[in-house]
Structure 1
Amino acid sequence: MKLGLQLGYWGAQPPTHHAEIVAAAEASGFDSIFTAEAWGSDAYTPLAWLGSSTERVRLGTSVLQLSARTPTACAMAALTLDHLSGGRHIVGLGVSGPQVVEGWYGQKFAKPLARTREYIDIMRQVWAREAPVSSAGPHYPLPFDGPGASGLGKTLKPITHPLRSDIPVMLGAEGPKNVALAAEIADGWLPLFYTPRMADTYNEWLDEGFARPGARRSREDFEVCATAQIVVTDDREGTYAAIKPFLALYMGGMGSEDTNFHAEVYRRMGYSDVVDEVTALFRNNRKDEAAQIIPDAVVDDSAIVGDLDHVREQIKVWEACGVTMMLVSPGSVAEVEQLAELIR
């Protein structure tokens, strides 16, 4: 089992402690650090800034939103950071949802799986640098020849030769088709709300992808990097209460009321009634109540909270289910060191 430091995206203001936590994570033997984006801070800028003070840890995004960048722009950013870090970059991608894609980026959300496949193919053409990059589309045609085109578009190779011709790509996937796609075309899976209780189901989805003709990886060399709330404490009740507002936001406030992929994750876990109630309260600006009605069992399904013995035992459970890395979000240097010691 490896540890990754999940720094996430910024809130209303930039965090002030990330530099010291990153330094502690590298010193403590963490494998990677990851940044994210929503509709505020971007993922690449803090990753490059913080990564410049590191020497060993891999630098990943969990996740970049596909619609934020064209595939060639994303490939350019990736090859640049890969050079600057000496070949330590991981590209973590996700499609987001229609509320963000169409409301924030002004792009079409339709056909997310097909767009993902085409997007990654273009990026890998850039990094391979074997021929001018081209795509028949329909989502990212290169050169562009649609309405309004000048007709002067030209296929190009990147000016800068990539350090690596094949930078690892992981997908932040939640539904069965998207998870299978990750197993087929990517190097890893970045589940946000993972529960060992559904490991057999997840493995069925992954196996479908591994079995497809031309699958890129097998289970033996595929990474499953699961976001995990790990808290060592004797106050389980208080910790559950602190986590519930986060779950209420994702369950009831991310996406539109009837199209929320995070909520669907919890429906598949068997919590449809909880999702409905949380969503109704959250959408009526009763956010505190929405958090309070979430049962402790819902938190416990995808978090590890308890004393040292309980946490150690649960980490073994996650590993036995196929998780190769746990992405954790410690709030202090002491917590970083404690988690590293637990893994050791």
Structure 2
Amino acid sequence: MKISMQLKYDTDIVAAAGQVAELERAGLDLVWVPEAYGYDAPSFMGFLAARTERIEIGSGILSVFSRTPALLAMTAAGVDALSGGRCHLGLGASGPQVVEGLHGVPYTAPVARTRETIEVMRALWRRDEPVRHQGRTVTLPLPEGQGTGLGKPMRLLTPPVRPSVPVWVAALGPKNVRMVAETADGWLPLFFVPEWCDRVWGPALKEGGAARAPELGPLQISAGGLLAIGPDAERARELARGQLALFVGGMGAPGHNYYYDLVSRYGYAREAETIQRLFRSGDKAGAAAAVPAALLEATTICGTESYVRDRLDAYREAGVTHLQVVPVPREGESEAAVVARLKDLVG
């Protein structure tokens, strides 16, 4: 099992490059560069490529509504060339508030758009013939009546370093997870609980896996949570309350919140309703306090070394290939030191 980590959204990206170099030396295998509605991820990914040597660099995540499939393919191929074949392309559908509010693009057919984006990107990376695609959300080239009628099938001008860049998709809903299991190289679930995976996502993963092309290989999974190692580490778990309250209570409009739906499927529907109601009323502290202790423990990895080892076994058993962590250092300790300690436990 490899170790991955996502950088903070509001970080000083120049200073963070030095931190990533330190994390690389500590043994971090894959760093995810976030993109929400601040800095774009690919610019920083290229900067990291120049400042590191071994660590793999992923986008976590680029919205399929903010860029065309061709631009996503070109961007991934470019970062892959700059990094010597270390790029991972993390994609997601985002949500209607950001897609329609910031990008001005209708939020329609997100699962179909993600699927067709992957199909077009892989066709472009192959470069074996000019790309044509007739889909529900993507048509290449545009037919007469939707444009000038002068478009022609094209292929990428420059070959990528690898035949294909690994494509990861952030997904929580059953339909989206089924599509990911069928078509993507990897899956990026948030608030993943290994013991509850089969109950919540088992049918979707099995159905998608049954239709998966053999050449894709097994589905990779990057999942984990806040990490603290030591006899007093359980206190660090409380740091995750605010994030859970934010995502369950404030991410997306009511009725369009994937995290609210997930927590409800975990068996905490009543608590999710309370968290959302308090958060949206402005009582963020009350929303955080309403997060159940059992849910907090299930979605974090905080405890003694023996406890953390047991959690690592549970993630392995659930098929997690990349343990994604948010390190919480002890006093006087760095995040890189926490990663190094975790590396020893992973073995």
Q: Which of 63, 66, 74 is the matching residue for 1:65?
A: 63
Give the corresponding residue for 1:207: 206
Change (3 A) 1:320 1:214: closer
Q: How many pairs does the alignment contain?
A: 340
1:329–1:146 Cα change, 3 Å? farther
Aligned-pair identity (%) = 37
Which residue in the other structure is 2:221 paired with?
224
SS in 2 for 1:297: helix
Q: What's 2:43 paired with?
A: 45
Corresponding residue for residue 4 of structure 1: 4
Partner Cα separation in structure 1 for residue 212 and residue 26 of structure 2: 40
Give the structure 2 partner of residue 133 of structure 1.
131
Pairwise CA distance, 1:235: 3.8
The 1:132–1:265 alpha-carbon spacing in structure 2 relative to 1, beyond 3 Å, is same
- Any residues of structure 2 matched to 1:108-123 within 5 Å, and which? 108-123=106-121
Alignment of structure 1 residues 166-177 onto 2, 5 Å: 166-177=164-175
Please give the TM-score of this superposition, normalised by the length of structure 2: 0.92
1:63 Cα deviation from its structure 2 partner: 1.6
Q: Is 1:296–2:286 an aligned residue pair? A: no
Distance 1:153 1:141 in 2: 11
Task: Answer yes or no: is 1:22 the counterpart of 2:25.
Answer: no
Following TM superposition, by how much is the alpha carbon of 1:27 offset from its aligned partner in structure 2, in angstroms? 1.5
Structure 1 residues 146 and 197: CA distance shift in structure 2, 3 A: farther
Match of 1:330 among 327, 331, 336: 327
Q: Is the 8 A contact 1:244 1:291 kept in 2?
A: yes
- Residue 282 of structure 1 and its aligned partner are, at CA, apart by 0.9
Give me the whole-angstrom Cα distance separating, in 2, the residues matched to 1:320 and 1:21.
31
Match of 2:332 in 1: none
Tell me, what secondary structure is at the counterpart of 1:163? coil
Whole-Å separation in 1 of the counterparts to 2:307 and 2:49: 33
Structure 1 residue 53 displacement after superposition? 1.4
Q: How far 1:194 sits from its partner (Å)? A: 0.5
Q: Superposed, which structure 2 residues align to 1:164-313 within 5 Å? A: 164-201=162-199, 202-212=201-211, 214=213, 217-218=216-217, 221-235=218-232, 238-313=235-310
Task: Point out where structure 1 has 5 or more consecutive residues left out of the alignment.
Answer: none
Deviation, structure 1 residue 230: 1.4
Work out the CA distance in 1 between the residues paired with 2:137 and 2:45: 28
Decide whether the 8 Å contact of 1:6 with 1:227 is kept in 2. no
What SS class does the counterpart of residue 59 from structure 1 fall into?
A: strand
Q: Is the 8 A contact 1:47 1:59 kept in 2?
A: yes
Distance in 2, Cα, partners of 1:214 & 1:144:
29
Gaps of 5+ in 2: 329-334
Q: CA deviation at 1:236?
A: 5.0
In structure 2, which of residues 133, 144, 148 is the aligned counterpart of residue 150 of structure 1?
Answer: 148
Displacement of 1:21 in angstroms is 2.9
- The CA deviation at 1:228 is 2.1
On the 8 A contact 1:127/1:162 being kept in 2, the answer is: yes
